[in-house]
Amino acid sequence: MGPRDSGVYWCESTEGSTSNTITITVSGGSVILQSPALPVMEGDNVTLTCRTKMADPPSAHFYEDGVSIRTESDGHMTLLHVNRSDEGLYKCTIQNEGGSPESRLSVSEKPPTTARPPTSSSSSTTMDPPTTSPPPPAFSHLVFTLICHLVVLYCISTFLMVSLYRQRATGSDHAEQGLDDDYDDVMSPVTTEHQF
């Protein structure tokens, strides 16, 4: 691998989805800056390391977007609780060795977290009774309509039953009257005439 292998790399699935891009810089020099290749999450701590071919990292000077940040005696610089404003191109220099190529630091937004319910500071916890919400208006209307239909059905059936009862009662009175007349006809005295 040589300096001409430097560039932006990513991968792509057969469905067309692509990964995050990473920048790989291959330096022909002796100084390199080790930084995360993938985006880091907001709030994380990130350590950048300036290295040479020497075993122990020497004192190094760090830059962000070409602006000097600070010098670290052990060659390590830690960014605490990074946020989107920490994104940029970083590089380092070592005295008498030269400087590293720039390396991009990307910061991803932290996913939103769901809020936890507040906790009571008192030692005894009380449980609030669950609150019940009123039924939705459509349900109340449906129940009211059903009750109205049942009341109307009850009234109609009661009216029909009473009408049938009266009709039978009237019909049986007429039938009894007819039987009484037939009985009287049968029981009327029969006179027979005898001729001597």
Residue range 75-106, pLDDT digits in tens: 899 999 999 999 999 999 988 888 989 999 99
**Average pLDDT of the residues in 98-120:** 80
pLDDT number for residue 95? 86
Nearest Cα neighbor of 103 from 93, 88, 113 is 88
Q: How confident is the model at residue 170 (pLDDT cuts 50, 70, 90)?
A: confident
How high is the pLDDT of residue 177? 60
Q: Are strands 103-105 and 88-94 parallel, antiparallel or unpaired?
A: antiparallel
Comparing 5-9, 15-19, 21-25, which segment has the lowest mean pLDDT? 21-25
pLDDT confidence of residue 81? 94
Read off the pLDDT of each residue in 131-159 and give the average, rounded to a whole number: 75
Are 48 and 79 in contact by the 8 Å Cβ rule? The answer is yes
Share of the chain above pLDDT 70, in %: 65
In Å, how far are 7, 36, 81, 98 from 48, measured between CA atoms? 20, 8, 14, 17
Q: Decide: 90 and 62 in contact? Cβ < 8 Å.
A: yes
User: pTM for the whole thing?
Assistant: 0.46
Residue whose token pair is 């990074």: 82
pLDDT at 131 over 80: no
Distance CA 75, CA 92 (A): 9
